[in-house]
């Protein structure tokens, strides 16, 4: 069977920061990973595009909807560009992510991943303020400032490797680009520590503190008083949980590369952390659709196929109920127990 060869960069091989047991990946496995990436890209673009369309068409665009719109915009952008490019690199070959495409994709993926958690932490903080302080009102202008500041903050960090603080290099699988996690120089290590602290641990701490305050406040207040606010907060908490689950494998893998100099890895499994990370763009629209009744009604009103789907589901439910009622009636007259 023909094979595609994936090699470490010259710098990584020279420093011996990682050694791969299998330095080649079967062609069918590369195609399989590429198909998964492309499916993630397609579905994520579709669901985020639908949510963005509906939020833009919504008449009452509150501050939470603006922040959610910004979050979905980042997910849409990441899936349309970075995730799609990774999938094509698996099918076409690693030559697709050479300079300068490698640097562009590195900036896109770093910016998108940081923007996701920074915006989630900002939403968590605003939920804390709204629930604990009845006088607090987040205006639309303030929500826009939060979006601009979050994007700017993440973009500055994402551009640092391009400007000389660390660098973007192809991953060990050779199909996407990321900062040099295994670099031993002071420049590489300092940037990696800086990005993990400011781009992951700090937003995660804000999220934990915010929801700790929310939970303690909920215990002192009747549930009916803030039912709507609590529902939105629980929705955001589920989004955060799925984000952490998606990015945890990639984060742990990056930390392992930083701390273990002679890391032995199997090439066939190097793509799994990246797949989990890029799937993070999928979950927010799906969670919001399942959790928000008003949004589901808006989907049925704006999208014809959704109304057709719900009509079919109601029809099938009604048909099943009629069959059960008919079976029970027949069983009553025949003196048999219902088998339905």
Q: Which tens digits make up the pLDDT trace of 118-134?
A: 999 999 999 888 888 87
Is-contact 124 133, C-beta < 8 A? Answer: no
Nearest to 12 by CA among 243, 212, 238, 173: 173
pLDDT, one tens digit per residue, over 65-110 is 899 999 999 999 999 999 999 999 999 988 888 889 999 999 999 9
% of the chain surpassing 90 pLDDT: 46
Beta bridge partners of 265: 20
Are 133 and 151 within one domain?
A: yes
Are 294 and 309 within one domain?
A: no
The Cβ-side half-sphere exposure at 327, using a 13 Å CA radius, reads 10
Question: Domain with 37 in it: what CATH number?
Answer: 1.20.1070.10
- Write down the pTM of the prediction: 0.80
Are 279 and 186 within one domain?
A: yes
Q: How far apart are the first and last CA of the chain?
A: 53
Are 194 and 157 within one domain?
A: yes
**DSSP one-letter string for 240-282:** HHHHHHHHHHHHHHHHHHHH-SSEEEEGGGTTHHHHHHHTHHH
Q: What's the rounded Cα separation, in Å, for the pair 327 and 324? A: 5
pLDDT at site 197? 93
Are 200 and 151 within one domain?
A: yes
**Mean local confidence (pLDDT), 2-25:** 40
Domain interval for residue 156: 3-302
Q: What's the rounded Cα separation, in Å, for the pair 195 and 192? A: 5
Instruction: State yes or no: pLDDT of 309 exceeds 60.
Output: no
- Compare 241 and 222 and report the one with higher pLDDT: 241
Q: What's the rounded Cα separation, in Å, for the pair 37 and 42? A: 9
Are 147 and 174 within one domain?
A: yes
Residue 129, classified by CB atoms within 10 Å of its CB into exposed (0-12), middle (13-18) or buried (19+), is middle
- Average pLDDT of the chain, as a whole number: 81
Are 204 and 269 within one domain?
A: yes
Are 293 and 324 within one domain?
A: no
Are 291 and 311 within one domain?
A: no
Are 197 and 319 within one domain?
A: no
Are 195 and 332 within one domain?
A: no
Q: What's the rounded Cα separation, in Å, for the pair 220 and 176? A: 49
pLDDT at site 113? 93
Instruction: State yes or no: pLDDT of 320 exceeds 70.
Output: no
Tokens of 42: 């397609």
**Mean local confidence (pLDDT), 172-194:** 89
Strands 263-266 and 177-179: unpaired
pLDDT, one tens digit per residue, over 247-297 is 999 999 888 888 887 777 777 788 899 999 999 999 999 998 888 877 787
Are 315 and 280 within one domain?
A: no
**Mean local confidence (pLDDT), 12-22:** 38
| Total domains present in the chain | 2
């Amino acid at each position: 069977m023909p094979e595609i060869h994936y090699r470490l960069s010259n710098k990584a091989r020279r420093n011996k920061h990682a050694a791969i047991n299998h330095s080649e990946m079967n062609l069918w496995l590369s195609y399989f990973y590429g198909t998964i990436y492309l499916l993630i890209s397609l579905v994520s673009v579709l669901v985020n595009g639908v949510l963005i369309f509906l939020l833009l068409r919504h008449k009452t665009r509150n501050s939470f909807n603006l922040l959610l719109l910004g979050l979905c915009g980042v997910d849409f952008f990441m899936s349309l560009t970075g995730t799609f490019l990774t999938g094509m690199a698996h099918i076409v070959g690693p030559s697709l992510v050479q300079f300068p495409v490698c640097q562009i994709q590195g900036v896109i993926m770093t910016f998108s991943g940081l923007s996701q958690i920074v915006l989630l932490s900002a939403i968590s903080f605003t939920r804390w303020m709204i629930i604990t302080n009845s006088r607090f009102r987040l205006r639309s202008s303030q929500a826009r400032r939060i979006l601009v500041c979050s994007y700017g903050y993440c973009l500055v960090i994402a551009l640092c490797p391009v400007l000389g603080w660390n660098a973007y290099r192809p991953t060990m699988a050779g199909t996407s680009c990321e900062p040099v996690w295994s670099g031993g120089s002071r420049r590489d290590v300092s940037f990696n520590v800086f990005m993990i602290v400011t781009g992951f641990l700090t937003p995660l701490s804000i999220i934990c503190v915010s929801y700790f305050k929310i939970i303690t406040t909920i215990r002192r207040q009747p549930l009916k008083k803030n039912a709507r606010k609590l529902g939105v907060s629980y929705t955001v908490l589920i989004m955060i949980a799925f984000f952490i689950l998606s990015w945890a494998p990639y984060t742990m893998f990056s930390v392992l590369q930083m701390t273990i100099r002679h890391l032995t890895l199997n090439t066939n499994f190097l793509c799994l952390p990246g797949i989990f990370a890029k799937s993070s763009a999928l979950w927010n629209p799906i969670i919001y659709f399942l959790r928000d009744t008003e949004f589901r009604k808006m989907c049925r009103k704006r999208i014809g196929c959704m109304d057709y789907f719900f009509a079919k589901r109601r029809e099938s439910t009604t048909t099943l109920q009629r069959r059960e009622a008919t079976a029970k009636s027949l069983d009553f007259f025949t003196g048999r127990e219902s088998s339905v």
